[in-house]
Chains A and B, each alone.
Chain A
């Protein structure tokens, strides 16, 4: 009813090419940002922030990374977990060698390392597609996972074999390590996610994004338009891995606060993020957030919400129900709406726009 574009005339091409051409969308985004940046830090409990919001943001970033290569460029990757791991270890090594440089810079810079590794493992994508490429990226997953455990240099020869996150500060406030409060970590993470979402949206709405989608939809025709396939695919892999790497670094430094890589960056993580992308919507940025929210919040509701209203649910049962739920969701979406929650959202908006008429 209120979602109408009537009367909003676009007089310039730049207004027409805006990411949110409709006023109501811009207001909506503003409200969401205000909620995330002001209301949640003030009113959200530590539990809510550290159990719901921080994982949600980290997974959104990871899903964005995978969506760039799988959703936008059409190349299936199962190495997401490993690329996230590369980011985490790169950040760890960088902050070990240069402890005085701000950790946020290193979190962002760690993406460069995973981008390089991602581009390297993206090389086979020129020749192989579909399942075969998935297997090739699976090789990356297993090889890198092996490195995380077997190369002690990566975890500074710790006896535990785990990343031990040191305390780092920003303007005198601890943002990583044991003394950093969830709210501070959340704010830093939110800043990173908003910045990187904005950049991804910019890139994907321009020439580079069109190149990716052209390669996805019809690579022969793309080549005829003068797009060179190898550079296009490698750019997609590099950009995707950059996002995954930053997500991995955020995961270790701003969420887990240290831990064993073999747990955090294993094949299950790759699948987890792949499911988020499929359920959220392939080839859609907002879908990354939808998918991350759904797959992240459902386990929490099962784990904490149901006992809270009096339904007793043991940890193991909750885990099993969660698996059942995710499995059935994936089947549901593959059959009913292959474009995921993002498409449902789009349909809803379209319906609202023409309500009460059907079209």
Chain B
């Protein structure tokens, strides 16, 4: 695991300090406000859950953070740098990785190749050497293969290494997708419903992987999840969105007792 701990830009933010701050972000699609004036922060090393009923703007929030959507108002501050617009590949190069709600793997490629794609940003051999697949190109390939094998071990997917991911069951696909994100050695990992559609056993596995990721690699995690048991157990702090607005923010216990949250989830008698 030694290779994982030394990333170029990981040292300077102390655990517990603010890694990412979202300030008064508003996102509109035409006349529809997906996110209205939302502010929250993610601290280094924590698991931050974003919850809310369907259509609350959780996924839109993740899309804003990694640059797919550009908010009309508000600022995002990541590692002390404020920005309003960003391309997804720039976010990736700054250490933001992500998994998708509906699995977005490269279906025609094997598990191994999928995770190797996660290493793309770390590979720098010029095109010329790839013509021969020898020398620097091959050395680099082997070096990254070693790293990818560590992730495969970590996620316990050795047996499906060479299987095209399109043929895998859903639970394993989700795991491979987590592996692909981990291969980027992200500083901030955005997980969009990592446990949707899983059975209890798969969910428990996934929880274990998320906690292990946090402990072994020190990755900061932002998590969207509908399973309240999982959210309350895993996360350090929870932000609750409803209709694009923030209605609560705090530790799981605080959020659980919040009347607005209870109303949002259970409905209010009129």
Contact = CB atoms under 8 A, between A and B. Distances in A.
A225 B180 contact: yes
Interface string B83-94: 000011101110
Interface stretch (A136-144, A160-168, A208-216, A253-261): A208-216
A205 B131 CA distance: 10
Nearest to B91: A224
Given A14-B142, A216-B108, A224 B88 contact: yes
B142 A13 contact: yes
B131 A207 contact: no
A229 to B, nearest CB: 8
A62 B180 CA distance: 34
A225 B107 contact: no
Contacts of A217: 105-109
Contacts of B130: 202-203, 206-208
A214 B123 CA distance: 15
Contacts of B241: none
B104 A218 contact: yes
Interface stretch (B50-58, B113-121, B193-201, B243-251): B113-121
Contacts of A211: 117, 120
A30 to B, nearest CB: 19
A205 B133 CA distance: 8
Contact of B107 (A199, A202, A218, A226): A218
Contacts of A319: none
B10 to A, nearest CB: 17
A224 B98 contact: yes
A206 B133 contact: yes
Given A206-B130, A218-B104, A225 B141 contact: no
A206 B109 CA distance: 13
B89 A227 contact: yes
A220 B138 CA distance: 28
Nearest to B133: A202
A222 interface: yes
B255 interface: no
A111 to B, nearest CB: 13
B125 A207 contact: yes
B127 interface: yes
Contact of B92 (A205, A214, A224, A235): A224
A223 interface: yes
Contact of A214 (B88, B97, B117): B117
Interface in A222-256: 222-228, 235
A17 B145 CA distance: 9
Contacts of A226: 89, 92-93, 120-121, 184
**Among B98, B106, B146, which residue has the most Cβ atoms of chain A within 10 A?**
B106
B142 A199 contact: no
A311 B66 CA distance: 67
Contacts of A12: 142
Given A206-B137, A228-B89, A13 B145 contact: yes
Nearest to A283: B108
A214 B141 contact: no
B170 interface: no
A170 interface: no
Interface of A: 12-14, 17, 199, 201-203, 205-208, 210-211, 213-214, 216-218, 220-228, 235, 283
17 contacts: A14-B138, A203-B131, A205-B133, A207-B116, A207-B137, A213-B106, A213-B108, A216-B108, A217-B109, A220-B88, A221-B100, A223-B89, A224-B91, A225-B118, A226-B93, A226-B184, A227-B117
